[in-house]
Amino acid sequence: MQKNLTKLYRQTQMNAAGSGRQVEISILEMAAAKLRACVGEEEKIPYGSGIDEALRFNQKVWDVFCADWSDDNCQLEDSLRQNLLSIGLFVKKRTFTMLAQPTRSGVNTLIELNDNLTQGLKDGASNADAGPKA
C-alpha cells in the first residue's frame, strides 16, 4: 500500500496541471478531511468511525513526505529538513498512540499539523507566484 501511495503521489506530481506543491497541498487536505470526518463531539473516538483508516492514510502521506525530505537530492535547506523530519517522527508516534486509543484532542493535533503544513505550502506558492521584487 505504501508503494502504491508513493507511486500515485509521484505520478500525480508529474501529471498535474498545477505545481507539485499543489499536489502536496491537495493530499494533505485530503488526509485532514479524512481525519475530520471521524472526529465527533466526544473526547473518545469510536473504532467504528473509520478512524483507523484515516489515521493510516495520514501516516502514509507523512511517510512519503519524510522519504522525500530524507533523500539526498532534497533541495530544502538542512535545518528545515531536520525540523520537518522531527515533525514527521512526532506524527508517527502520535498516530500509533491514536491507533491504540483515539481521542478527539489527539486527532485534532494531527489535523492541525496537516493544516499548518498546508498553509505553509500555500504561502510558499504565493510567494513563488509573486516572483522577485525589484
pLDDT by residue (tens digit) across 78-103? 999 999 999 999 999 999 999 999 99
Number of independent structural domains in the chain: 1
Global pTM reads: 0.79
In a domain, 131, yes or no: no
CA distance 70 to 48: 35
Cα radius of gyration rounded to whole Å, the chain: 16
Contacts of 40-46 spanning 24+ positions with Cβ under 8 A: 40/104, 41/104, 42/104, 43/103, 43/104, 43/105, 44/101, 44/102, 44/103, 44/104, 45/102, 45/103, 45/104, 45/107
Residue 21 pLDDT grade (very low, low, confident, very high; cuts 50, 70, 90): confident
Query: What does the block give as the cell for 91?
Result: 506524527
For the segment 108-126, the average pLDDT, to the nearest whole number, is 91
Q: Which residue is listed with cell 506530481?
A: 13
pLDDT of residue 83: 95
In a domain, 69, yes or no: yes
In a domain, 51, yes or no: yes
In a domain, 133, yes or no: no
Beta bridge partners of 44: 103
* Domain containing residue 73: 2-9+20-125
